[in-house]
Every structure is written in C-alpha cells, then in structure tokens.
Amino acid sequence: MADVPHELSAQIGDGGEDATGDDVALDPGEPQFDLVEPGRVSRREVQPDTIKRRAMGKMRAVQVAQGGGALELVEREMPEPTQGEVRVRVEACGVCHSDSLTVEGQWPGLSFPRIPGHEIAGIIDAVGTGVVGWSVGQRVGVGWFGGHCGRCEPCRRGWLIDCRNLRIPGISYDGGYADAMVAPADALAAIPDQLSAVDAAPLLCAGVTTFNALRHSGAMPGDVVAVLGIGGLGHLGVQFANKLGFCTVAIARGSDKEALSRNLGAHHFIDSATEDVAARLNRLGGARAVLATVTSAKAMTPVIEGLAVRGRLIVVGVDAEPIEVSPLQLIGASRSVVGHAAGASIDSQDTLGFSALSGVRPMIETMPLSRAPEAYARMMRAEARFRMVLTMAEQH
Ligand SMILES: [Zn+2]
Ligand SMILES: [Zn+2]
C-alpha cells in the first residue's frame, strides 16, 4: 500500500482535478501503476471460518440499513442465482463515488437494506437455469451496467447502456461489498488472465467510462486529445489517450500534478490555475476532444474555446450546475458538447482486454471488506489515490 499524504482538499467524485497525485514516485516508461502485486488476492489462503460460514450457507456483507445510515458488516444468507443469473464469488470491489447514491439513499426507489458496490471482480461459483455461455470457475466482472430489459426503445436500437430500465448493482440489487453477489448473465464481462481482480475492479466503472468515451470521441491517432482532471477517472483517461495514439494533454489545477501526468503518458501538461487553457490548446492546434472528468461544470466552461473545428467536449464528470456555452462558440466551428455514460458489459470487456494488451492499470489502495466504512470515508474525502478497492480475503 502506498504511503499517502493527506493534503487533498476537495470532494471530486469519480475523478477530478482536485485529486492530486503529484508525489507518487513512478518510474517513467514502465507499466508502473500496479501498487498491489498482481494476483496477490487469488493466492491468499481461504480462512477456516470462511469455509465454515460457506458450509452454513452464509456470507459476509457490508450493507446500508437505511438511506443516510452507516455501512455495517453483517452476516447474510448466501444468495442463490435464479433463471438467467449467476453467482459471483467476489474477489475485489472498487469503491466509487456513485456508491454514495446508495449510502445516502439518493437514488429514487431504493429499497433497504442494500449492499453497495458496482466495480466487482470475481469468479462464477453458481449458475442459474437458462444461462448460456458462462460457467462455474470463469473470472468475471460486473460494472455500473447491471442488466438491460431488451424491450425499451433504446434497447431495441442496440443502445443497451441507455436502457430505460437499466439495472445497476448496488442500487437495483445487492452489489459487490460482499463475499458473493448475484448478477444477470447479460451484465458479465470476462476478465483476461493478465489482470488481477484488484486491477480489474476499477476498470469496470472508471475504466470503461474513460476508455469508451475516448474510443468513440471521433479523434484519430495523432489528434490532440485533452483530459480535464487527473483523479479516479482522469488518471485512467490519460493512460488510455496515450495508448490510443492521441497527442495527449493533461489539464489539472496546480503544477504539482505535472510529473504524475507525464508519467501516466501525457505529452503536454496545462496548469489551469496559472495558464489560459484555451490558448494553450489552440497553440497545439486545438483539441479534437476534451474528456471532462472533473466534477465541476465551471471548470469545463473554459476549455470550449480550446476545441478545434468539429471538436467535442465529452462530459463524464458529474455536476448539477450548468456548463456555460454560447451558440456562437458551437456554431462557428461546428463544435459539440456531449454526455457519455459508462458502457454496456461488452464495453467493459473491451476495456479489460485493451488494458491487458496495452499495460493500462489503475492506481489503487486496497483494504479488506471489513474496513469498507473506512475505505468509503477515505474515498468521500477525496484522499484515495486513486481508487479504493475492497478485497474479500480476510487477512490483509
Ligand atoms: Zn462507478
Ligand atoms: Zn431496455
């Protein structure tokens, strides 16, 4: 585990320019982002009390008893998969800012108690009836996309992530803060052998969000692509942009993020605290795409003037405030501002495959499941560098 200073200030959600990462000692040129030894989780011994609990059909889970309540470690009945579902023995689960929707009870229609967690990596250990193509022993992940209805208009058009009845683990049904969880088979992504569970977990939400947005950005190899905010999302976005062959620009507040950004693969760094971001982007020829991972609409507004002709501002950082843009800014250069949701399970699988292929890895801090409240609090204080990941092995 990294020794982490506590100077971070702002709450930034999935990503954000306030999540600093400047003083992590990285060795340039290496796939150095693996703060946890790959495969460490799967090599751990199963503890005797775990075996006993399983024999009794029980599991550990961290649940929220009611909206706004505390996360609590409880013993639950082991869930059984029904038709079209599999049970996943969870090895690792990332802690995402969107888990606060469950903890705070902010998602409409949530029922309690609920187990949060939608960055789930594990192994199938039971298969329900009618499941084709998935079997016991297979390594799988489940992300924000937790199943689609197949009947609504977006589903019928093939836009599964836009399903009007989208199911989300940890919200629509119990998620990954547990020894096991049950998911519909259409929510599964296969995990390649080269990726450990702890590395795969954050790629199932933060990873697919950035990778999928960048690969559909319309930018071609060599084009200028900027990532606004170097946090949970942005530190992956910079790596993906570099590996996709873009001229990669990192934009963050404060020059202290420059070294980290360059180690992650940024060819250029813009300090938004001291520089005119749009002017710098224009000197580089203008950005074909800017991936906005900051959770501040105000921080997104200044980059619009730095978009090239037909350039796109791709919004993945969440904020309720408006982004300010004039029709003139958009029309004159055929620019656009677009939102982008994470991706369906096949997009997650592509993200995992591309990461295995290219060496993209999340920077993570791990904690055992029993310390989930602490991991969650650390994430909410924006102190995680850059993703907290819960591991289900009991000793840590
Ligand atoms: Zn998430
Ligand atoms: Zn649907």
Mean pLDDT of 116-137: 98
Give the strand pairing for 85-95 and 120-127: antiparallel
Which ligand is closest in space to the CA of residue 186? Answer: 2
Name the pLDDT band for 45 (thresholds 50, 70, 90).
Answer: low
The number of the ligand nearest the C-alpha atom of 157 reads: 2
Residues in the chain, total: 396
> Quick one: tokens of 296?
């501040």
Ligand 1 centroid to 233 CA: how many Å? 10
**How far, in Å, from the CA of 163 to the mean position of ligand 2?**
4
How far does residue 150's CA lie from ligand 2's centre (Å)? 5
Q: Which ligand is nearest to the CA of 158?
A: 2
pLDDT confidence of residue 23: 30
148 Cα: distance to centroid of ligand 2 (angstroms):
5
For 286-339, write each residue's pLDDT tens digit.
999 999 999 899 999 999 999 999 999 999 998 889 999 999 999 989 999 999
Per-residue pLDDT averaged across 369-394, rounded?
93
| Ligand 1 mean position, distance from CA 26 (Å) | 26
Ligand nearest to the CA of 204: 1
* Ligand 2 center from residue 4 Cα (angstroms): 42
Q: Note the pTM of the prediction, 2 decimals.
A: 0.86
Cα of 46 from ligand 2 centre, angstroms: 39
- Which ligand has the minimum distance to the alpha carbon of residue 98? 1
Lookup result for tokens 């003037």: 305
Give the pLDDT score at 13.
Answer: 35
Average pLDDT along the chain: 88
Ligand nearest to the CA of 120: 1
How many CB atoms within 10 Å of residue 98? 21
Task: Answer whether 338's CB lies under 8 Å from 314's CB.
Answer: yes
Give the pLDDT of residue 319. Answer: 87
Q: What is the pLDDT of residue 116?
A: 98
Q: Which residues are within 8 A (CB) of 119 and not within 5 positions of it... i.e. 6 or more apart?
A: 93, 94, 95, 96, 141, 143, 176, 201, 202, 204, 205, 206, 387, 389
255-282 pLDDT, tens digit per residue, is 989 999 999 999 999 999 999 999 999 9
Q: Identify which of 131, 117, 147, 133 has the alpha carbon closest to the alpha carbon of residue 86.
A: 131
The ligand that comes nearest to the alpha carbon of residue 150 is 2
